[in-house]
Amino acid sequence: MLFMVGSGLGMPVMPALSLTGAPPSVEIAGLGPDRPYRRVGYVTTPELADTTAVRALIRTPRSLEGPGGSRGSRSLGEPALERT
């Protein structure tokens, strides 16, 4: 996609992680404070939910701030995120 843009073939909206290694012919601009964001959820079984590995995996994204400075606060027993 980045090389297509560098050749003058469009203007995509892409996640920041996919912009690493962009060619010099591509200008990267932010979308401002009201930019789109992704919500991430998880699915596991009751048996695996209490394992150390699953709890560590869930703890990491919850510790990161989300849009608007909010933090994830859902406990393991709550339902998964809604589909958007």
Domains of the chain by residue range: 1-32, 37-84
Q: How confident is the model at residue 63 (pLDDT cuts 50, 70, 90)?
A: confident
pTM value is: 0.43
Beta bridge partners of 71: 65
What tokens appear for 23 in the block?
A: 């060619």
Measured over the CA atoms of residue 66, residue 84, residue 34 and residue 37, the dihedral's sign is positive
Per residue in 30-58, pLDDT (tens digit) is: 888 888 877 778 888 989 988 999 988 88
CA dist 38 → 26, 30, 74 (Å): 24, 16, 16
